[in-house]
Amino acid sequence: MTRIAYVNGRYVPHGQAAVHIEDRGYQFADGVYEVIAIHQGNMVDEKGHLDRLDHSLGELQIAWPMSRQSLQVVMREMILRNRITNGMIYFQISRGVATRNHAFPDDTESALVMTVRHSPPLDQTAAAVTGVNVITIPDIRWARRDIKSISLLPNVLGKQQASEAGAYEAWMIDGDGNITEGTSSNAWIVNKDGDLITRDASHAILNGITRLAVLDLARAEGVTFVERPFDVAEAKDAREAFVTSTTSLVKPVVRIDGDPVGNGGIGMLTAKILSFYTDHMKAQGSAV
């Protein structure tokens, strides 16, 4: 079956999808994006992703390319046309096509592109027994990390550094020595008192939708959590650690810079959080 993409109002074969060379997303990274997990044909935490999209567009003064309701129709049509049961939907919105100039153009229409791809069904058992390594690196990004901008070069460099070190992720360190987040995920630890800790949402991090879902689930399940900065020493002294994102879900971290976290295995609270979140996904996947 031919894979289908969406480009500015048209459904086209993926291999033929293209944007104008003066699209400001291409020339200036002047745009935003979202990635939404698809489970059993339904989008996971759809409202949260669209709310964050609204925030990102508003902060950059980029107009919605269509109404929120129309965007939801296009997303569902893309899932149907590509026959996706489990996978990811990616879309980005740029300020549009205009003669190259740093200042905003006076008259231009926002540009929208969208793709979807298949991924294997959720394997909760495998996720619960497979831990990953992370390394720590300086955070060299701009100061508005709450905007889900398509300008990701520092994240790309950090992820490559992690890959070359044989690690899954790189946790970035700010000027105060505190961990902000991963290159494509939020960072979490469980301290010796059993408290769940993650960086508070501000301009310093991207407020992950999976992060928000985990906080809601922790609250509902009576898990004590704290939103505050933590440094590398505290992370390495933690009982447990994990990362969250749309693509990683809840992934246990067993080593930081080569040092084992806790006993070097999957922590009990991390396993519970993973179970809570997979139940959350399945509940949305079974929704009508």
- The pLDDT tens digits for 198-213 are 999 999 999 999 999 9
Report angle CA 106, 146, 182 to the nearest 5 degrees.
Answer: 135
Q: What's the token pair of residue 190? A: 């469980």
Task: Using alpha carbons, select from 110, 126, 115, 109 the residue that is nearest to residue 74.
Answer: 115
CATH number at residue 158: 3.20.10.10
Instruction: Find the catalytic residue in 47, 148, 159, 192.
Output: 148
Among the candidates 71, 101, 120, a domain finishes at 120
pLDDT digits (tens, 9 = 90+) for 127-184: 666 799 999 999 999 999 999 999 999 999 999 999 999 999 999 999 999 999 999 9
Residues 85, 190 within the same domain:
no
User: Do 238 and 154 share a structural domain?
Assistant: yes
137 lies in the same domain as 252:
yes
Given 60, 91, 120, the domain boundary residue is 120
Sequence length of the chain is 288
- Tokens representing 32 are 């935003």
**171 and 50 in a common domain:** no
Residue tagged 């096509």 (tokens): 97
Q: Are residues 130 and 192 in the same domain?
A: yes
Domain count along the chain: 2
The pLDDT of 94-102, averaged and rounded, is: 97
- Alpha-carbon separation of residue 2 from 11, 12, 229 (angstroms): 12, 10, 46
The CATH number covering residue 67 comes to 3.30.470.10
DSSP state of 265: S
Compute how many other C-beta atoms are within 10 angstroms of the C-beta atom of residue 215. 18
Q: Are residues 174 and 45 in the same domain?
A: no
In this structure, the answer to whether residues 26 and 145 fall within a common structural domain is no
In this structure, the answer to whether residues 149 and 203 fall within a common structural domain is yes
Tell me the angle at which helices 46-60 and 68-81 cross, rounded to the nearest 10 degrees. Answer: 130
Task: Give the integer Cα–Cα distance in Å for 73 and 57.
Answer: 19
Contact 68, 50 (CB under 8 A): yes
Instruction: Look at residues 72, 96, 120 and tell me which one is the last residue of a structural domain.
Output: 120
pLDDT computed for residue 262 by the predictor:
93
Q: Counting beta carbons within 10 angstroms of the beta carbon of residue 32, is it exposed (0 to 12), middle (13 to 18) or buried (19 or more)?
A: buried
**Side chain identity, residue 14:** H
Same structural domain for residues 153 and 77? no
148 given a catalytic annotation: yes
pLDDT digits (tens, 9 = 90+) for 7-48: 999 999 999 999 999 999 999 999 999 999 999 999 999 999
Same domain for 152 and 270, yes or no, is: yes
| Residue 37 shares a structural domain with residue 75 | yes
Asked whether residue 80 falls in the same domain as residue 221, the answer is no
Which tokens go with 110? 């926002």
Q: Is 107 left (phi over 0), alpha (psi -120 to 50) or beta?
A: beta
Q: Token digits for 49?
A: 């992703």
Its domain, for residue 184, covers 125-285
